[in-house]
Structure 1
């Protein structure tokens, strides 16, 4: 049986559709489409059918040469070519955001998550910046507009890399750290802080679990969606949502809830495969 929230999510997903067929024409009409490109793809909530009427339309364009056209700003990344130009504009429907990557930048980012780098003890935060991590995570679940073969090739390379393992390890480490904090806070009688810490521990444990099932995003606002998409056997959606919303929390006995959630975090960590 679905919970009311999961039912609402399914209905919202069915309602939220977007016609991407004229996206490249829109960019070309604004002189925002490179003369040649390896691929163009939609990322983010609209690409997954998770968006709403206020969601941005996020598009990544990948070319051999850096974008030399107009841009609203630039993201800086620690690569041999450090600039990722960005452009923003509005249509009648919504706000658009375009990011211009080069194929060389993508190749360099993939090299950072090799198994050799991972085996040396690197964490995802040490291996990649947040923008680089987001590129790989979004590539795995994007909606290709052009150059689908290029996208599928990158997806295979990401799957073969240590990217997923690095995300899982990072989340498990955070889960253990926050659980240890909660334990110490309980011992000191600081129950309020223990509640906050164990909630963080649980979130990271869930992120590790769903990342092991291919859902490598880490934005909290999409955690429920990732749980629904991954559907891990180790944790039902109903049980997840009960803890996420603190359904069984007793304000007169917070310590019991903290210990229960700590135990669940330990079980989840043991069932996550890296």
Structure 2
């Protein structure tokens, strides 16, 4: 059952429990709740961005490859729901956006997956899908900066490269007679090529694969109908007596989509 989130109540809770920094420029609901995908067991996830570090005593420092090299993290249980709050600095956001600038874009680095750390990639994705609690102007500016950056190209390049490597693994394993490993590698190739297809259309979030089907339905790519994707994802046509048939179908799809997806 999907949950309806009261945005005004979330902001009021942050204020009443003194969880909102004095120099906060923006606070926004992120994750499944922001996208309308949450359920009774889903947490409330909020990002808060300030100009100055907040000396809250019970914040846990989570490492990030930025300066400062950590993000404050606060977890609590409020009104029978888990709350996870991440406290970022505006200067850290500047640094993340600098990493995805067209000036610094490097296709080889993008393909290797080294352009962004997972936590940075998720932050930028969530800027594009969040629900603002405060700081709408700040969010509008940052969303425009993400949109005009190389972020999409970096993620598409990474996913296409990963799909290509998984296809090569599959072919090598088939040639060696290692069919079981080839099945697993083909599944990996399918995941990456679908991620590339969705990222091309601005549906990011490949680090959280549990939402891939929902992202697919929102993207609605013409190159691959959802029914066909779901058939392959759930291996409906897989025959244990002839695994190569399913494998070859996946590899053919990967090859076809890789030629259609634009970086």
Give the aligned partner of residue 39 of structure 1. Answer: 26
Tell me how far apart the structure 2 counterparts of residues 170 and 177 of structure 1 sit (CA, whole Å). Answer: 11
Tell me how far apart the structure 2 counterparts of residues 132 and 53 of structure 1 sit (CA, whole Å). Answer: 28
Per-residue deviation at 1:226?
Answer: 0.7
Tell me how far apart the structure 2 counterparts of residues 222 and 168 of structure 1 sit (CA, whole Å). Answer: 17
Give the aligned partner of residue 209 of structure 2. Answer: 220
Q: Is 2:89 aligned against 1:99?
A: no
Give the aligned partner of residue 133 of structure 2. Answer: 145
Q: What TM-score do the two structures reach when normalised by structure 1?
A: 0.92
Give the aligned partner of residue 73 of structure 2. Answer: 86
Structure 1 vs Structure 2 CA RMSD:
1.2
- Kept in 2: contact 1:191–1:254 (CA 8 A): yes
- Kept in 2: contact 1:41–1:59 (CA 8 A): yes
- Kept in 2: contact 1:70–1:87 (CA 8 A): no
Q: Deviations over 1:162-220 (max 9, x none)?
A: 11100000000000000111111111111111110000000000000000000111121
Give the aligned partner of residue 179 of structure 2. Answer: 191
Give the aligned partner of residue 236 of structure 1. Answer: 225
Give the aligned partner of residue 262 of structure 2. Answer: 273
1:96-135, aligned counterparts within 5 Å? 96-119=83-106, 121-123=108-110, 125-135=113-123
Q: Is 2:140 aligned against 1:155?
A: no
Could you list the runs of 4 or more consecutive aligned residues of structure 1 that deviate by over 3 angstroms after TM superposition? none
Tell me how far apart the structure 1 counterparts of residues 58 and 119 of structure 2 sit (CA, whole Å). Answer: 18
Q: How many residue pairs get matched?
A: 261
- Kept in 2: contact 1:89–1:96 (CA 8 A): yes
Q: What TM-score do the two structures reach when normalised by structure 2?
A: 0.96
Tell me how far apart the structure 2 counterparts of residues 257 and 132 of structure 1 sit (CA, whole Å). Answer: 35
Structure 2 residues not aligned, in runs of 5+: none
Distance verdict in 2 for CA 1:79–1:259, change over 3 Å: same
Q: Deviations over 1:231-257 (max 9, x none)?
A: 111111101100000011111100111
